[in-house]
C-alpha cells in the first residue's frame, strides 16, 4: 500500500499544524481558566509534540524535495526553497515557544495554579506570531501542490 507513495511528507506534515494550533487554542483558553494546572501542562506537552512533529515534517520534506528537485523548473525550485525557509523559521519559533512555556510552567510548579506574568504574555504573543508563520508555511506548501503540482502524479504515473 505505501509503496505507491513517493514521500511520507504529505502524511507527516499535518500533525505539527494540528498539534500546534490546538496548543495555541488551549493556551488562549488558559487566559479564562487560570486555575487549570493540568491544562497548562497539556499545553506545554502540545507545544513540544508539535515541535517534534514539525522536525519530522521538515526531514520528510527535505527528502521529498531532494527526490524531485532535478525535475522541477526554476520557478518551482524557488518556491520549494521558500517553503523550506519558512518551515525552518517556524521550527525555530516553535522551539522558542516550547522552551518559554516550559520555563513558565516550571516556575509556577509549586504555586498550585497558573501564574500570569510578563513571560507568559510574551510566550502567548510569540505563540500567536508563530501560528501565523505556520499558516504561511502551510500556504506555501499548498501552493507547491495545488499550483505547481509538486508531488502529484497523473494517470497512475510514479513520477512526482
Residue that has been written with the C-alpha cell 495554579 in this structure: 113
Q: Which residue has the higher pLDDT, 101 or 152?
A: 101
Dump pLDDT digits (tens) for 1-60.
Answer: 455 566 888 889 999 999 999 999 999 998 888 777 889 899 999 999 999 999 999 999
Grid coordinates in use for 38? 493540568
Residue 128, phi then psi, degrees to nearest 5: -70, -40
Please state the rounded mean pLDDT for residues 101-116: 80
61 and 4 Cβ atoms separated by less than 8 Å? no
Return the pLDDT at 57: 96
Dump pLDDT digits (tens) for 122-154.
Answer: 999 999 999 999 999 999 998 988 888 887 765
Given pLDDT bands bounded at 50, 70 and 90, which one contains residue 112?
low
Q: Which residue has the higher pLDDT, 143 or 111?
A: 143
Q: Is 113 exposed, middle or buried (0-12, 13-18, 19+ CB in 10 A)?
A: exposed
128 and 24 Cβ atoms separated by less than 8 Å? yes
Please state the rounded mean pLDDT for residues 79-105: 94
Check: pTM over 0.75? Answer yes or no: yes
Among the ranges 1-10, 59-68, 103-112, which has the highest mean pLDDT value? Answer: 59-68
Given pLDDT bands bounded at 50, 70 and 90, which one contains residue 99?
very high
Q: CA-CA distance, 38 to 35, in Å (whole number)?
A: 9
- Has residue 155 got a pLDDT over 50? no
Q: CA-CA distance, 65 to 67, in Å (whole number)?
A: 5
| Residue boundaries of the structural domains of the chain | 7-146
Amino acid at each position: 500500500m505505501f509503496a505507491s507513495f513517493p514521500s511520507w511528507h504529505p502524511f507527516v506534515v499535518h500533525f505539527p499544524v494540528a498539534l500546534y494550533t490546538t496548543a495555541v487554542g488551549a493556551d488562549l483558553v488558559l487566559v479564562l481558566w487560570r486555575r487549570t494546572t493540568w491544562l497548562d501542562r497539556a499545553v506545554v506537552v502540545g507545544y513540544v509534540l508539535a515541535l517534534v512533529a514539525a522536525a519530522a515534517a521538515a526531514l520528510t520534506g527535505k527528502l521529498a524535495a531532494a527526490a524531485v528537485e532535478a525535475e522541477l523548473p526554476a520557478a518551482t525550485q524557488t518556491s520549494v526553497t521558500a517553503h523550506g525557509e519558512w518551515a525552518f523559521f517556524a521550527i525555530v519559533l516553535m522551539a522558542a515557544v516550547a522552551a518559554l512555556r516550559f520555563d513558565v510552567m516550571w516556575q509556577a510548579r509549586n504555586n498550585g495554579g497558573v501564574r500570569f506574568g510578563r513571560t507568559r504574555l510574551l510566550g502567548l504573543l510569540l505563540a500567536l506570531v508563530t501560528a501565523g508563520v505556520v499558516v504561511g508555511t502551510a500556504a506555501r506548501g499548498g501552493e507547491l501542490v495545488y499550483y505547481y503540482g509538486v508531488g502529484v502524479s497523473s494517470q497512475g504515473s510514479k513520477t512526482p
